[in-house]
Amino acid sequence: MWNNKWFLNIIVLLLIVGLAGMFLPDEYQVERSIHINAPPGEVYGVIVDLRKWEQWTVLNRMDPDVRLIFDGPDRAIGMRMRWEGTIVGRGAVEISSLQFNRQLIYSLSRNDDGVRETGEMRLVPLESGTELIWTSRGNVGVNIFDRYSFLFLESEVDEAMQVALENIKTLAENAPASSR
């Protein structure tokens, strides 16, 4: 009799957790910005070349053994960076829209969990440099476990974006004077 009550309580608890998970958001948006003491052209040069992304993203720090493969037109719509690693899994980033020295839009997909994301990096010219505004929007899908996991991963995404922005700032502000 005692075992039946425990079994019933566990079933009810699982149902409640499952039902609650269905009402968790399946979409997310994270936006961060940073002021960079460099002209928009210098910042644009750091973000438009996917080969330079390994210098500022946290992908390599998260998985030192990650393998990057680049294809498509260089620094243009359709340029793609694919990755494969033991920790970060497999995925790809592809440039989908560009406005010279003003904006980069990309699509990101992670093969292991099915997350699809769209990112936008906007450059706002200022008298004292450039404001870089990075927005990331995604959908975790209908999987309840993915919805719960993103509740805990949102702060990691936020932190990764902030570190990447600081790295972009460092690269753009320390670029050789001849490239400015």
Assigned token pair, 95? 């440039």
Percentage of the chain exceeding pLDDT 90: 55
Is the separation of the CB atoms in 87 and 107 below 8 Å?
Answer: no
pTM above 0.75, yes or no: yes
Asked whether residue 175 carries a pLDDT value surpassing 60, the answer given is yes
pLDDT 10s digits, 75-92: 999 999 999 999 889 999
C-alpha distances in Å from residue 169, one per residue of 107, 108, 126, 128, 163: 22, 22, 15, 13, 10
Give the pLDDT confidence score for residue 178 in this predicted structure: 45
Q: How far apart are CA 171 and CA 109, in angstroms?
A: 26
Predicted confidence band at 2 (pLDDT cuts at 50, 70, 90)? low
For the 26-179 domain, the top CATH level (class) is: alpha beta
137-147: average pLDDT: 74
- Relative to beta strand 67-71, strand 129-139 is unpaired
143-150: average pLDDT: 70
Predicted confidence band at 98 (pLDDT cuts at 50, 70, 90)? very high
**DSSP code string of 25-57:** -SEEEEEEEEEESS-HHHHHHHHH-GGGHHHHS
